[in-house]
Structure 1
Amino acid sequence: MENAERKNRFTALLITLIAVGCLIALPLLFSGCGKEVKQSAGPGVQQTEQPIDLNILCVGDVMVHKPQIECQYDASTGKYDYTNNYKYVKDYISQADLALCNVETTFAGAPYSGYPDFCAPDELADALKDTGFDVAITSNNHMMDRGGPGMKRTLEVLRSKGFETVGSRLDNQEKRYAITDVKGVKVAVVAYTFETSTGGSGTAINGSVISPENAQLINSFSYDTIDHDLAQIKNTCEEARKAGAEIVILYYHWGEEYQNSANKWQKYIAEKSVDNMDVDIIFASHPHVLQEMDYIKNQTTGKTVPVFYSMGNFISNQRIETLNNRYTEEGIIAKVNLQYDKSQGKATNVKMSAVPTWVEKYNSGGRPIYEIIPLDENLQNNETLKASGHISRAEAALEDANGILETH
C-alpha cells in the first residue's frame, strides 16, 4: 500500500513537470525566441526575383564654339560657368538611372578655342556633372583636336569630376569599354568613332593622321575596312560580357553631316551590330541634326534593339544664323526604358522614346545666352521663351522633330 502511494505521487509529479515544461516550451516554439519565424521554401523551390526597372538616356553632341566660350566667362570671378545652359533639362538628366553624353570637345587647358580645334574650359565638365550625367563619351571626330596630350588630359579632367569615360584610354592596359553598376545591374558602354580615309595605311581622325601609339588608345573604325572593324567591335562587346556586363550599350559616331536621314553605311552597321553582337541599345550622333529612330530585330534570336541614328546637337552655336540651317539647333534626349530580369538574364519590355530639345540663344546684358529648351508639355510656359519671343521657333523645332523621329 505504501509503495502504491509513492508510485502515485511520483506519477503525479512527473505529469506536473511535463506540463510545466510544455508551458515553457510552447511560447518559445511559436515565437521563435522573439523573432519572426519564416517558413522556408521546399527543396528545389526558388523565390521569384522581381525585374529591375531601368531608365537610360543619352544626348548627342555637346559642342563649345568660340561664342560659347566668350559668353560663359565671368569677369568678376575670373572663371567660366556653363550651368545655366542646362537648367531646363537638368530634371530629365538627373532623374535617369544612367545618363550619357557625347563630349565633342577636348579639355586640353588654355588657350581655349572653338572650331576647328575644339578646347573648352574645365568648368564645362563641372556643369555636365552637375546636370546629372554619369558617362562621358569621348570617341568622336574632334577627340584628337589637341593631339595625344589633349586627348589624355580630357580623360583626366572628366574622371576627376566623377565621370565614367569611354571611347579612349590613357594606356593600353585600360579596357575599351566602361562598366557601371546601375541599381544592381552591370551596364557596359562601348563607343566608337569613324576614321577619315587615308587611301592607304595609318589612322586619320578628322583628316589628320595620328601616330600608331595614339591610334591604339582610341576606339575607331574605318568605312574602308568596315567588316574587319565590326569584328573588333564585337570582340569589345564580348569582353564586356565576360567581365560581367548584363546590358551592353553601343554608341557610334557616324554618318554624314547635316543629313536628316541615315545613310547606307549607318543602316549597314546598325543591322550588322544587331545581328552579330549581343547589344541592347544603340545610340549615335555626328550629323549635327536629327535622324530617325527605329527598332531592329535580330533575325536569329528575335531580340529587338532600339537604334537612335542621330541624336543631333544637344548644344552648339550651329544654327540658322551661322549655317542657314535650323535643324542644327535641334536635338533629343533619347530615352530607353526597360526591365532587366535577373532570372532570365536579359532585358525585357524595352521601349524607346525621345524628348525633343531646341537650343535657345538670346541676348541679355550685352552678351548672348545659351539654354537648352525641352520641347515638352511645359513649352508654352517656358520663362525664357516668353522673354525672348522665340516661342514660334521652338514650336517649329518640335514640328521638325516629330516628323523626323518617326519610328518604323
Structure 2
Amino acid sequence: MVKGSHSKGKPKQPPVLRWALAGMGVFAAGVVTAMYLPGGAAPAISASSPTPLLDVGTVARESTPAPRSVDQVSATPVVSSSKVPSEVSSPSVPPDTRITIMGVGDILVHKEIWAEAQQDANYDGSDFTQMLAGVAPRISAADLGVCHMEYPFAPPEGPVSYWPALPAAPWSLATGVAKTGFDTCSTVSNHIQDKGLNGITQLLDALDMNGIAHAGSARSEEESQVITMLNVKGVTIAHLAYSWGLYDNGDSWSVNRNDADRIIADAQRAREEGAKIVIVSLHDGEENIAQPDESQLSITQALADAGTVDLVLGHHTHCVQPVEKIGDMWVAFGHGNLLTAQSRKKPRTADGLITQWTFQADSSGRWRVVDAAGIPIFNEDYPFRLIDLSALGGVRNQTEEDSWERTMAAVMSMGADKDGFHLLSS
C-alpha cells in the first residue's frame, strides 16, 4: 500500500530505468580508475556486462589517498570501497560478521564555510578537516561512511562560488571528506547541474583522486550505466542515489532522478549482480519541514513493498526528519545538515543527525539491520565546528539543548523508538 502520492509542485520526471554496472574509464589526469555510478536515461545493460568491485578500507585517511588502480578491481560482477583488502563477496564470510554503515546530512559550502576553510588553512589553500573533526571519530570507526555532496565542484584552480550565485565547491572539500573517514558519497541533488556537466566532472574527478566512491551522477553516458558496488568485509554493498529534480536540466543521462519503479529495477539488478545489501540515498522532501512529504512517503513505501532495498538515507530538507522502519526496510527521511551556515536565519538548519546501521546475515543469508542508532550533531558557528552532542555527555548551553530537543522530537515522531531505534552515547 502506498502512503501518499506525488502531488507537489516538483517537476515530474519520466520513469527511466538505468542500470548500474561498473566499467573502466580513463580520466583527464591519465589515470585508469574504477567507474561506479548509476546514471541518466541510458538503456538497460545486459547481465553479461562486467561489474568491478571497489574496496572499502585500503585508503589511508591521514593523507590524500591515491586514485584506485586497476589491480584493485575484480573482474567479478560487483564493486568495492575503502576499509578492507580487495576480495569479492563470498559465502565464506563468517556468520557472526557485522557491518556498520553511517549516513549523514547535506554538505553546504556557503560563503562563511568557505571563509572558515581558508582561515583554518592559515590562508594557504583551504582545509575542511577542522570543521569536520567533531564527527571524524564516529565516521572513521564505521565500516562504511556515506556522505552527500550537495554542490558541483569548481576546477582545482577555482573560482569557488556560493549561494545566491550558482554554487561550486572546492576540491579541498573532497580531501576533507576523505580524511574524515567517508568511503562513498551521493552526488545527485537539485543543485548538481548548476555548473553544467563540467561541475559534475570536477566533483567526480575530485572524489576519485581522494579514493571516495560515488553514486547518482555521471561524466559520460557510458559512466551513467555504472552502479556503485562496494566490498566491505567481503560483503557486496550497492549504493544507489537519486534526486527529485534539478534547477538546470542538462544531459538527461548525467543524473539519477526519483522514480520508484526505476529505483526498484536498479536495486533488483544490483542484487542480480551480487549485492547483499542495497542502500539508496534519496534527495527529496520539502526544505525546512521536519516531516516527510507525500513524495518521500510514496517512494519509500513502494521500495519497502518491493523488498529489494534495505536502507534509505534521506537528504535535501536541511532539517532533521523522522526515522521509520517500513516492513524490513529502514528509512532516515532527512539527516539535516552536516555543514552549513544558515542557522542564524533558520536555527533548525544547524541540526544534524548521524545514523548508524549495523547489518548481520540471518539464518537464510539475508543481511538485515540488527541495530539502528542515531547521533545528534550541531553546527556551531564562528568558528564553524561540528559538535557531536552525544559525545558531550549532555548539552553545554541552551542553543545545544534546543537543537537536541528539535532533533529528538523529529527523529522519534513516527515511532522509530518502538522498532528499536536508539541514541548512541559517548
Q: Which has the higher contact order (CA 8 A, sep 6+)?
A: 2
2:63 paired residue number: none
Say if 1:143 and 1:405 are closer, same or farther in 2 by CA, change over 3 A: same
Aligned equivalents of 1:314 and 1:176: distance in 2? 27
1:340 paired residue number: 361
Decide whether the 8 Å contact of 2:279 with 2:312 is kept in 1: yes
Aligned equivalents of 2:366 and 2:93: distance in 1? 15
In the TM superposition, residue 402 of structure 1 has moved relative to its aligned partner by 1.2
For structure 1, the residue ranges without an aligned partner over 5 or more in a row are 1-45, 196-204, 222-228, 298-303, 363-368, 386-390
Decide whether the 8 Å contact of 2:105 with 2:338 is kept in 1: yes
1:396 paired residue number: 402
One of 270, 280, 283 as aligned partner of 1:240: 270
In the TM superposition, residue 283 of structure 1 has moved relative to its aligned partner by 0.7
Larger Rg: 1
Alignment of 1:141-290 (within 5 A): 141-174=190-223, 175-195=225-245, 205-206=246-247, 208-210=248-250, 214-221=251-258, 229-290=259-320
Report the TM-score, using the length of structure 1 for normalisation. 0.74
Aligned equivalents of 1:352 and 1:164: distance in 2? 24
1:370 paired residue number: 384
1:20 paired residue number: none
**Alignment of 1:310 onto 2:328:** no
1:113 paired residue number: 161
Say if 1:278 and 1:370 are closer, same or farther in 2 by CA, change over 3 A: same
2:64 paired residue number: none
For structure 2, the residue ranges without an aligned partner over 5 or more in a row are 1-90, 416-426
Query: What letter matches 2:313 in structure 1?
Result: F
1:68 paired residue number: 113
Partner of 2:197, secondary structure, is: helix
Query: What letter matches 2:99 in structure 1?
Result: L
Report the TM-score, using the length of structure 2 for normalisation. 0.71
Decide whether the 8 Å contact of 1:249 with 1:282 is kept in 2: yes
One of 87, 91, 94 as aligned partner of 2:137: 91
Partner of 1:275, secondary structure, is: helix
**Structure number with higher strand proportion:** 1
Decide whether the 8 Å contact of 2:107 with 2:339 is kept in 1: yes
Q: How many residues align?
A: 319
Decide whether the 8 Å contact of 2:93 with 2:235 is kept in 1: no
Aligned equivalents of 1:88 and 1:371: distance in 2? 7
Aligned equivalents of 2:274 and 2:219: distance in 1? 22
**Structure number with higher helix proportion:** 1
In the TM superposition, residue 344 of structure 1 has moved relative to its aligned partner by 2.4
Aligned equivalents of 1:49 and 1:245: distance in 2? 17
In the TM superposition, residue 142 of structure 1 has moved relative to its aligned partner by 1.2
One of 174, 182, 191 as aligned partner of 1:125: 174
Say if 1:157 and 1:181 are closer, same or farther in 2 by CA, change over 3 A: same
Partner of 2:403, secondary structure, is: helix
Aligned equivalents of 1:155 and 1:349: distance in 2? 30
**Alignment of 1:359 onto 2:379:** yes
Query: What letter matches 2:141 in structure 1?
Result: Q
Say if 1:122 and 1:377 are closer, same or farther in 2 by CA, change over 3 A: closer
Decide whether the 8 Å contact of 2:151 with 2:191 is kept in 1: yes
User: Structure 1 stretches (4+) deviating beyond 4 angstroms?
Assistant: 46-49, 74-77
Question: What does the per-residue CA deviation read over 1:7-43, in whole Å, with 9 as the maximum and x for residues that have no partner?
Answer: xxxxxxxxxxxxxxxxxxxxxxxxxxxxxxxxxxxxx
Aligned equivalents of 1:316 and 1:70: distance in 2? 12
In the TM superposition, residue 340 of structure 1 has moved relative to its aligned partner by 2.4
In the TM superposition, residue 348 of structure 1 has moved relative to its aligned partner by 3.5
Question: What does the per-residue CA deviation read over 1:307-361, in whole Å, with 9 as the maximum and x for residues that have no partner?
Answer: 1011111110111x2x2x21110010011112124x6231135332210110001
